[in-house]
Structure 1
Amino acid sequence: MKNSEVTVSLENVSKIFNKKNWVIKKINLKINKGEGLAIIGPNQSGKSVLGRLIASQIKQSGGIIQYNFNNENVMANIGFQFRQTTWPEGFLVKEVFNLYKHINDIQDKEWIDDLVEVFGIDLRWEKTLTSCNTSWLQLFSIALAIINRPRLVVLDEVSSSIGLDFKIKILKFLKEYKEKYEASFVVISPDDSTFELLCERVIVLDNGFIISDDHITDWKKNLTFEKYSLNIMDAISQQEIKVKPDPLFKPILKKFEENRKLFKEQYDYFLEKNIGNEHESNIVYIRNINYHLNELESVLVSLLSTAINRRNIEEVLLHTKMAIKIFKRTRKKVTKLDIKVKYKKSALAFFKKTEKFFNFLEEDLYNSFKSNKYIVYATELTAQLSKKELEQLSSLKKKYIQEEIKSMKLESKWVKKQQRLEKKQKIKRG
């Protein structure tokens, strides 16, 4: 029976780098106590970034990440395996290990002895870190990640180049740890043996979206992790799996299409009434309005299955702005036309009957995409909220995130303080 107690939950979480690169897009995810979760996907799909977000190593650009730990100190309950395997010259294995032990105030000798023996730290105790091979350093970083017995462990690399016997020994140790402490594990791109011993659930990322979320209990008989991974990667490359539609854009597109339908009826009726005058300058402008609306609709439809980036936001803004601009300019010109111009009356009727649509484009659609906060925080529910309500919601979430960041900074200061004390004590002993 699965434990239903949630260790960490992600609600509508996004991550943007350099204000334009949307790597993680509105992720909703819950990881239960004692659960082992694998994250797989193509290169550049956002796997490592999602792992770092879950481990609270980087802050999200939008959304909420909540942890359910008995101890309020979030960072003390999270173990994150750094992929970095380069260390400064002169640092001994024992110095770094002891530093982590003292920082975390670990008094349990039996636990420390187990780590030292299982991870082969005792065999390298007097060696410098720079003299150790990269594959072992990756495993050493796992030992450092779990030294404080965290309730949430995020592994970004379990070396496949190390000896199988040694590796299985470590994985079995981690499995026993997971079961004993009901720790939640998140493993990025695991191999078969790592998945088999630590995971019972797998999510697939593509272009920053979760496109699949499966428990192995739901798999068909004889389906292995290797077969599952190969099948799903092939399906992604063949574009047989479409990205799960972003719920934000369903109501936006629906509202656009409802309004656009009324515009199209009036547009088609106007052209039909003015057959033979297609090349009149003002009618050409009206046709240009329709061109920009076609392009706008195409971009909005693509947003159902494509991660947002600065380029497609700018395309929405461009085509919306151009359609509104041409509408206003052409209506002004038509109003000034001589009454004898054949199409003036039908053109004025067209502008009057489609004015509501352009008010929607200007006041609703354009402002929605112009506001980055709206794009980051909105959901299917909040897409229907007023601008004032959205600002209030955004403010509340921002406050929550700031509190989380504050606690992370305090934790970082504490760690640095401990490191300074250790350094002073080391100098005194020397």
Structure 2
Amino acid sequence: MEPIVSVSHVKKSYQKRKDKTVVKAVDDISFQVHKGEIVGLLGPNGAGKTTTIKMICGLLKPNQGTIKIQGLDNSKHRLKSLKHISAVLEGNRNLYWRLTVRENLEYFAGNRGKSKKQVKDQIDYLLELFHLKMKEHELVNRLSRGMQQKLAIAVAMLADTEVILLDEPTLGLDVETSYEVRDILKKIVRDEARTIIISSHDMAVIQAVCERVIIVNNGKIVTDNRVEDLIALFDARQYTITLGQPLIHRQITQLKACFSNFEYESEQLKPKLVVELLSAEQIYQVFDILKKNETPVEDINRNTINFEQVFIKIIKGETGHANHSSLSSKSSKASN
């Protein structure tokens, strides 16, 4: 299957005004997004993520490499390629605040060459989908942040593009509205076979919505893989053990020697030991060390990992598996 978005060996550099030094914002990145995927494009501040987003949207031109949308190079065929993509950048700034909810939808549909009559049914559908029907005649500047954000996404959907790019779609939303937006995004992909690329710092949203993530750091892709595979990859056997008495110095020294990821919390009513195992059998090493001083174990729990922890581990380079995960993802795509 041909990718709907293809980024190939893209580079982008900037020259600082003060000392004229060249900064590589994006350094030879390549990835593909296929129809019907919902993909997270992530990275810490300054990683090159925003520059990549702006290049995909045609707001910036790469110094090198190509970006194709539906097979069209967006540098050579900018207008034609951008007909296939709509975006919500920096929250809700793609709205006119002195127009009503319905008027915004009608206005932006008109920019795409559609009349009010042509889009009436679609607007009615979107107002219901985003729970905005009761506010359709309200000025946008009187809406809550959550309603403005939902309207911004509805405007992007109204363009009927195959690809929707969302930059921080849940930024500043309350918990209830954030969950509502998540459900809407999953419904869009499931029912309409749209392709969505999400940039967000809200890792709970990425874990709940995205099938796959591309993580950028220092201008390069550090991993490209399915969310569930990354969680499984980093789902180390980490246990919290509540003890009946403090550890002695010799036990702490032995535990540190055996386990690189080891924490001991002694300044509380019940001392706690947190240890990360490389294999299930290593739990016996822990108990052997505890047994030497007959340290009683009152409770033991296996800790679960979430995607926020996975993201932090990848960015910190705490594993050598990132490149392998990227390769496995690409090879699986090629075989489909």
Same fold (TM over 0.5): yes
Asked if 1:83 corresponds to 2:94, the answer is no
SS of residue in 2 equivalent to 1:149:
coil
Give the match for residue 13 of structure 2: 16
Count how many residue pairs are aligned between Structure 1 and Structure 2: 241
SS of residue in 2 equivalent to 1:73:
helix
1:145–1:50 distance in 2 versus 1, CA, 3 Å? same
Give the match for residue 165 of structure 2: 154
Name structure 1 gaps, 5 residues minimum: 245-430
* Deviation readout 1:218-277 (Å, 9 max, x if unpaired): 342895997233234145347766997xxxxxxxxxxxxxxxxxxxxxxxxxxxxxxxxx
Partners of 1:13 and 1:221 in 2: how far apart?
28
The amino acid of 1:204's aligned partner reads I
Partners of 1:92 and 1:162 in 2: how far apart?
21
The amino acid of 1:100's aligned partner reads F
SS of residue in 1 equivalent to 2:181:
helix
Name structure 2 gaps, 5 residues minimum: 17-21, 73-78, 236-302, 324-336
Structure whose alpha-carbon radius of gyration is higher: 1
Percent identity (aligned):
21
Please state how far the C-alpha of 1:192 moved relative to its aligned partner: 4.9
Conservation of the 8 A alpha-carbon contact between 1:118 and 1:170: no
1:160–1:192 distance in 2 versus 1, CA, 3 Å? same
Please state which structure has a larger fraction of its residues in helix. 1
* Deviation readout 1:31-83 (Å, 9 max, x if unpaired): 1111111122222112222122223332222111112269x932221011121
Among 70, 74, 77, the alignment partner of 2:81 is: 74
Counting only pairs closer than 5 Å after superposition, residues 39-118 of structure 1 correspond to structure 2 as 39-68=41-70, 73-83=80-90, 85=92, 90-104=98-112, 105=114, 107-118=118-129
SS of residue in 1 equivalent to 2:213:
strand
* Deviation readout 1:284-329 (Å, 9 max, x if unpaired): xxxxxxxxxxxxxxxxxxxxxxxxxxxxxxxxxxxxxxxxxxxxxx
Give the match for residue 4 of structure 2: 7
Give the match for residue 212 of structure 2: 201
The amino acid of 2:104's aligned partner reads V
Partners of 1:208 and 1:29 in 2: how far apart?
13
1:98–1:205 distance in 2 versus 1, CA, 3 Å? same
- Give the TM-score normalised by structure 1: 0.49
1:96–1:206 distance in 2 versus 1, CA, 3 Å? same
Please state how far the C-alpha of 1:190 moved relative to its aligned partner: 5.6
* Deviation readout 1:318-341 (Å, 9 max, x if unpaired): xxxxxxxxxxxxxxxxxxxxxxxx
What is the aligned-residue RMSD (CA, Å)? 3.4
Give the match for residue 29 of structure 1: 31
Partners of 1:147 and 1:225 in 2: how far apart?
40
- Give the TM-score normalised by structure 2: 0.61
